[in-house]
Amino acid sequence: MSDKENPENKQDTKSTRRDFIKSSSLTVGGLVVGGAVGGLLGRTSTDPDEKTETKQTPAANPNEALMFFYPDEYQTTMAAAERIFPEDDLGPGARGLNVAIYIDHQLASQWGVNAKDYRMGPWYNPEPTQGGQVRLLRKDLFRLGIKQLDNYSKKKFDNTFVDLESDQQVEVLVAFENGEANALSGVPSSEFFKLLRTLTLEGVYADPMYGGNNEMEGWAMRKYPGTRMNYVKEVESKEFIKLEPKSLHSHMKHS
């Protein structure tokens, strides 16, 4: 009988091939392919009654990602927004509501570069009833303001804004609100504070699709029912109905 027809040789060939596939995980396709193939080949039978516990982790929020800030700028913005809208017994503050994420996304958008604003000048000091007259783009003003928060904090308290005590952070923000900090490329520091305050409040109450108002808790604190198509059933009810907030996302149909 020739080697070609010898069944023992066939068995050896199969074993050799199997051993090669198992041992070649580092050379053919890397760890992922090798691990998958090795797992299939080396699988052993298990007790059918044995139950595997699976731990469910909460789904990540895809909107919770930085598009504009550097990490240190994000931390400073989060700390400043928290002082404007702090956590209390009624609910979370700006930090818990992801307000800094909202601000980040706004500054990264066309709004951050004043895309719809007239930008040719002339530039005057505005009257109280007029809109802003600022040469800087919103994103640039905010970035300069964040840097100046740290500069002012280091000069007055010998520490960065994030590392200050809460009352010290408030003192710094009040100085910016009153225009007492150094100007930002010719723009009063009060302009930065107004921008920061406006964006903070927007981040608290805007629809979660924009990054802030985490879990619609900003609406819940105001007992705002969110975005609803109608109130037909509620209007016809003779009893008071408490409505849980609904976001724009809730109107999407999922299969």
Judge whether 26 lies within some domain.
no
**210, 236 in Cβ contact below 8 A?**
no
Q: How far apart are CA 35 and CA 30, in angstroms?
A: 8
Please state whether 246 falls in left (phi above 0), alpha (psi between -120 and 50) or beta.
beta
Judge whether 171 lies within some domain.
yes
Judge whether 22 lies within some domain.
no
Q: How far apart are CA 21 and CA 56, in angstroms?
A: 34
Judge whether 27 lies within some domain.
no
Judge whether 125 lies within some domain.
yes
**195, 138 in Cβ contact below 8 A?**
yes
DSSP 25-83: TTTSSHHHHHHHHHHHHT-----TT-----PPPPPP-TT-S-SS--HHHHHHHHHHHHH
Judge whether 62 lies within some domain.
no
Q: How far apart are CA 15 and CA 41, in angstroms?
A: 11
Counted domains in the chain = 1
Total residue count of the chain as it appears in this document: 255
**66, 74 in Cβ contact below 8 A?**
yes
Judge whether 32 lies within some domain.
no
Which residue, chain included where needed, has tokens 């919770």? 64
Range of the domain at 115: 71-222
Judge whether 18 lies within some domain.
no
| pLDDT by 10s per residue, the chain, length 255 | 555 555 555 555 555 544 544 454 444 444 444 444 344 444 445 555 555 555 555 556 667 899 999 999 999 999 999 999 999 999 999 999 999 999 999 999 999 999 998 888 788 887 888 877 888 999 999 999 999 999 999 999 999 999 999 999 999 999 999 999 999 999 999 999 999 999 999 999 999 999 999 999 999 999 999 988 888 888 888 888 888 899 988 888 654
Give the residue ranges of DSSP H helices in the chain: 7-23, 30-41, 71-84, 99-108, 138-157, 166-177, 189-205, 217-222, 232-236
